[in-house]
Amino acid sequence: MTSYFKGKSAIVTGAAQGIGFRICQELLSRGTKVILNDYNPLFLQQARDKLSEYTNLLTVEGDASDESIVNQMVSLATDKFGGLDFAIANAGLTVMGDFLQFPVEKLQRMLRLNLEGSFLLSQAAARLMIEKGTGGRIIFMSSVTGVQAHQDTEGYGMTKAALRMLAKDLGSKLARHGITVNCVAPGATLTERTISEEGYAESWSRVIPTGRASNTEDIANACLFFLGPQSSQVTGQTLVVDGGWTNISPLPPELYK
């Protein structure tokens, strides 16, 4: 399996921490050349420091919903790596709040990053993959909130459900070019952000059938499946990684009062 990934190239957005960072780490360890993007310069430097053993890593600072940043990453993949095999649109913004009071500026920011950024990366990546004639893999990062209704996530859930539809549409459109397009939909996952929330791991563990919240490795493994050779006949699909939570969908009462 490692030999399959060796020498291939990838772009991962929003990847200085959490799920995106773990995806980069797993790809780099398998010999994939990676462009790691994040908007936060401090987090980006910390990611570079943690991955300093890898010479096959490039970083791009900037907003993943900015077309110029997307084009910069794709041009870098062309110039430095000779093309692009994997595009993982991981960058996203989670904002929860009462639907009746939800600020339009927060909604617009989520729409721009979660949807426009994912659309632009997949578009630019697909163009390059088609031009090179090499095929490729595109992954969107959805969420269980795009599969199952969830309290106070109407705007966020809408963006994540839209990514599932985009994967279906592009999976059909790009298949003839040897490009697959799929979604990973994480449930409650332990990251730098969620670990800082008091009681997060314990509360979710009580309502998830497997008895624990997911970790970043669980989500990265789902991505590796979609990127790997075993999934060559899988496109337009969403893989939910949530320990079975969406089967019954109970909320931790102490977190959602």
Question: Which residues are tagged catalytic?
Answer: 156
Give the residue from 13, 19, 8 showing the smallest Cα distance to 229: 8
Name beta bridge partners: 210.
Answer: none
Which 8-state DSSP code applies to residue 60? E
- Quote the distance between the C-alpha of residue 72 and its chain's center: 19
Cα separation of 222 and 186, whole Å?
A: 9
Element (H, E) at 10: strand 9-12
Question: What are φ and ψ of residue 189, in 5° steps?
Answer: -135, 135
- Dihedral sign for Cα 228, 232, 236, 238, please: negative
Output the six-digit token pair for 27.
Answer: 């790809």
Give the residue from 88, 99, 73, 57 showing the smallest Cα distance to 107: 99
Residue 257 exposure: Cα atoms within 13 Å on the Cβ side: 2
If you search the block for the tokens 């990838």, which residue do you land on? 10
Cα separation of 237 and 15, whole Å?
A: 23
Cα separation of 213 and 95, whole Å?
A: 20
Output the six-digit token pair for 13.
Answer: 């957005």
